[in-house]
Structure 1
Amino acid sequence: MQRSHNAIQLTELNQDHLPQLYAFPEELDAPWVRANVVSSIDGAATSENLSGGLGTPADKTVFDLLRELADVIVVGAGTARAEDYGGAHTDPLRRRTFHERGIGGHPDGTPPPIAVVTASASLEPDTRLFTDTRVPPLIITTAAAPAERTQRLIDAGAEVVEAGDSTVTPRGLLDALATRGLRRVLVEGGPRLLGELLEADVVDEFCMTTAPVLVGGTAQRISLSRHEFGTRMIRAHILLDDDGTILTRWTRR
């Protein structure tokens, strides 16, 4: 493979090389948090209010791979509703293979659950999150969530987890996942949840796709937080696709 300043042509990678570039550390004793996001060249996190509007074939390839490597996929309730989230439909063979190689996956190929963060349990039990999934979703909520709402979600098949009194803090979220043995954490948004995790300095790596498009308009940005934090990161790799898509992976200093 020809490389220049850590830049790699995606077409030069085979089915073994790409997973190794995104491998989780082995033998984790605490959650490892990976964020995966997409942006336009001019910084929009959505097109026509959906992140999927920025998707490219290369982004889809890495999006699917990161799901197949993860123990759990975390998303905020607003994003789950806007993007009409269903369960993760991963490849069982690849999940088993990744587990055998010690880079992620699952020993029996089971898909990772979707964990939705919602302090008020504001989800509808007839959506794809509950009806289009092979594994029950995790609803990460609070003691203050109305009991009738949480019961409706339990009746729909979800596992409801209280991770705080009135708010779900980043530490409360990760503790709830770690208790269930879910240490390879993939965060897919939205901006407020990601901003809270970044501000709390619990994100270990940041994977970002830059789609070859200018969006303009009033689209929101990737992360939102109450304060600026200026966290410095190290570039791990850059992948380039022929259509102009750029995929980067950044890790903690």
Structure 2
Amino acid sequence: MQQLWPASVGDPDLIELYRTPPGPWLRLNFVTSLDGAGHVGGRSAPLSGPADKRVFGVLRMLCDALVVGAGTLREEGYHALRLDAARRDWRVAHGLSEYPVLVVASARLDLDPAHRAFADAPVRPIIVTCAGHDPGPLADVADIIAAGEGEVDLAAAVAQLRERGHAHILSEGGPRLFGSLTAAGLVDELCLTVSPLLAGPGATRITAGAPVDTPEQFTLRHVLLDDGLLFLRHSR
């Protein structure tokens, strides 16, 4: 892997490159094609590659909580959120819990308690939903956070996650969750992998939802290159 900017000598230390400031931080991690597609055939995996998976693993290792939408959980075939022994050891040595916690956002609470992301989880996941839903058997496999009426109030949900000690939050989408976090002004950082593919018409963008009134300006922190994939890190 070659670092393009800022310049460095030798192989970049990905952990240090992706370390965040102390305190609360919300990071998004997405992959896109050259022509702005967020998926190929309904999944992001065809846009990825070994280097992308390497960054993907580092970002998961660094976070306290990983937030995904219910649709992404199903469509991308999520497994339980597990780390290998070396990454668990790194977390413990740096004052983190052995595993990050998986957080699933679902306004309708239409989730299967037998899904492997819940059934095989090394730590109890969290489900963020709207007030008034009966969690039923989901309460047996996850903690339930109620935030908002009719749709999830992400600002309130993030505040509750931070009250539980999850200061560093990573989100892997999907697009509607990305759009909602942006609209709520909660995004501190975007890690974007640009795949050297033209996906063609039809695929959706990595963000979706109602337009925002004022676009936010972010600053480029680094650019990495590996096997044609560009890794961009932008933050406030």
Q: Provide the TM-score with structure 1 as the length reference.
A: 0.86
The answer to whether the aligner puts 1:151 opposite 2:136 as a matched pair is yes
For residues 199 and 144 of structure 1, what CA distance do their matches in structure 2 show?
A: 24
Structure 2 residue identity aligned to 1:53 = P
For residues 234 and 82 of structure 1, what CA distance do their matches in structure 2 show?
A: 31
Q: Deviations over 1:4-49 (max 9, x none)?
A: 542669xx425xx2100001222x1xx3100000001111100110
Sort the Cα spacing of 1:20 and 1:144 in 2 relative to 1 into closer, same or farther, 3 A: same
User: Corresponding residue for 2:47?
Assistant: 54
Sort the Cα spacing of 1:7 and 1:190 in 2 relative to 1 into closer, same or farther, 3 A: farther
The answer to whether the aligner puts 1:111 opposite 2:95 as a matched pair is no
The answer to whether the aligner puts 1:18 opposite 2:10 as a matched pair is no
For residues 36 and 108 of structure 2, what CA distance do their matches in structure 1 show?
A: 30
Indicate if the aligned counterparts of 1:73 and 1:115 stay in contact, CA closer than 8 A.
yes
Sort the Cα spacing of 1:7 and 1:82 in 2 relative to 1 into closer, same or farther, 3 A: farther
Indicate if the aligned counterparts of 2:4 and 2:223 stay in contact, CA closer than 8 A.
no
How far did residue 89 of structure 1 move? Answer: 1.5
Indicate if the aligned counterparts of 1:37 and 1:207 stay in contact, CA closer than 8 A.
yes
Indicate if the aligned counterparts of 1:34 and 1:203 stay in contact, CA closer than 8 A.
yes
Indicate if the aligned counterparts of 2:3 and 2:223 stay in contact, CA closer than 8 A.
no
The answer to whether the aligner puts 1:42 opposite 2:27 as a matched pair is no
Q: Report the number of matched residues.
A: 235
User: Corresponding residue for 1:240?
Assistant: 225
Indicate if the aligned counterparts of 2:127 and 2:142 stay in contact, CA closer than 8 A.
yes
Sort the Cα spacing of 1:159 and 1:245 in 2 relative to 1 into closer, same or farther, 3 A: same
Which structure 1 segments of 5+ residues have no match?
none
User: Corresponding residue for 1:178?
Assistant: 162
Root-mean-square deviation over aligned CA pairs:
2.1
Sort the Cα spacing of 1:117 and 1:51 in 2 relative to 1 into closer, same or farther, 3 A: same
Q: Deviations over 1:179-218 (max 9, x none)?
A: 1110110010011111011122111110000111111131
**What is the aligned counterpart of 1:81 among 74, 80, 86?**
74
How far did residue 144 of structure 1 move? Answer: 2.6
For residues 248 and 165 of structure 1, what CA distance do their matches in structure 2 show?
A: 36
User: Corresponding residue for 1:136?
Assistant: 124
User: Corresponding residue for 2:57?
Assistant: 64
Q: Deviations over 1:97-127 (max 9, x none)?
A: 245457xxx24xx221110111121101121
Structure 1 residue identity aligned to 2:221 = A
User: Corresponding residue for 2:108?
Assistant: 120
The answer to whether the aligner puts 1:212 opposite 2:208 as a matched pair is no
Indicate if the aligned counterparts of 1:117 and 1:139 stay in contact, CA closer than 8 A.
yes
Sort the Cα spacing of 1:7 and 1:54 in 2 relative to 1 into closer, same or farther, 3 A: farther
Structure 2 residue identity aligned to 1:231 = E
Secondary structure class of the residue paired with 1:188:
strand
